[in-house]
A = this chain, B = another copy of it.
Amino acid sequence: MKISELARRTGVPVATIKYYLRENLLQPGERTSATQAAYDDSHEQRLRLIRALVEVGNLPLATVRRVLATVDDEHTNVHHLLGITHHALGPDVQQNHRDAEWSTARADVDAFLTELGWMVHQDAPARDLLAKAVLALRGLGLPDSSDDLRPYARAAHELAKHELASTPRTGPRSAVVEHAVLGTVLYEPVLIALRRLAEEHESAQLFTDPA
């Protein structure tokens, strides 16, 4: 197909596609004349993945490049590939004061994950994200013990099992990464919204006058 058709199918503007080609994020098409090239399904697939990483994952181009390199390196197994993807999604927790309180919170998070028996890389950004949330709870005197966090861990674990079960087992590696990025990022607001709705519903159960 022509570049215009590729743009139509993926929703990525022609100028952006050309930029990805120049940056070597997208493999060149097959040259058909001095000014034209032909593109196929592999280009469409790759563009879908780049779009997911850039638009949904909000990742900077340098990070996109790293994820794509891992997709292309067939020697990395799927777990490693998903690990790179999850870590790329960050978030990069900016903690200006990595002081004693921060260190304690981070150590508590690490101990909690060990207690849960979860296999998570020591440098996973979500460890910092959880430590930051725990610090915020502490700052306002809210419950943050293992017992307090366990219901959230249980809910999260049930969801993750459900989600990972739907990860494609066959097909291109790019589809696995696309699935992980979209699944992780796009179902977050679903969960947030449903929790708020459930809170309102439960409050109605508990506090509405029978009258």
Chain A interface (Cβ within 8 Å of chain B)?
Answer: 52, 56, 77-79, 82-83, 86, 89, 113, 118-121, 124, 126-127, 129-130, 132-134, 136-137, 140, 142, 149, 151-164, 167, 180, 182-184, 186-209
Task: Evaluate contact between B188 and A56: CB separation under 8 angstroms.
Answer: no
Inter-chain contact B140/A151, CB cutoff 8 Å: no
Number of copies: 2
Contact (A191, B193) CB under 8 Å given A126-B200, A142-B182, A198-B157: no
Write 29 A-B pairs (CB below 8 A) sorted by A numbering: A78-B207, A79-B206, A83-B203, A86-B203, A118-B197, A118-B201, A119-B205, A121-B200, A124-B196, A124-B197, A130-B193, A130-B197, A132-B189, A142-B186, A152-B187, A155-B158, A156-B191, A156-B194, A156-B195, A156-B197, A160-B199, A163-B202, A164-B202, A167-B203, A184-B195, A184-B196, A184-B199, A191-B192, A192-B192
Instruction: Provide the residues of chain B in CB contact with A119, threshold 8 Å.
Output: 200-201, 204-205
The residues of B that contact A161 with a CB separation of less than 8 Å are 198, 202
Min CB distance, A202 to chain B, in Å? 4
Prevailing SS type, chain A contact patch: helix
- Give Cα A33 to B54, complex, Å: 62
Tell me, in angstroms, the Cα distance from A91 to B9 when the chains sit together. 33
* Distance between Cα atoms of A167 and B207 in the complex (Å): 11
Chain B residues, Cβ within 8 Å of A195: 156, 159-160, 184, 188, 191
| Distance in Å: Cβ of A178 to nearest Cβ of chain B | 9
Contact between B192 and A188, CB atoms less than 8 A apart: yes
Chain B residues near A202: list those with CB within 8 A.
157, 160-161, 163-164
A157 neighbours in B (Cβ, 8 Å):
194, 198, 201-202
Q: Is the CB of B129 within 8 A of A189?
A: yes
Q: How far is the CB of A62 from chain B (nearest CB, A)?
A: 21
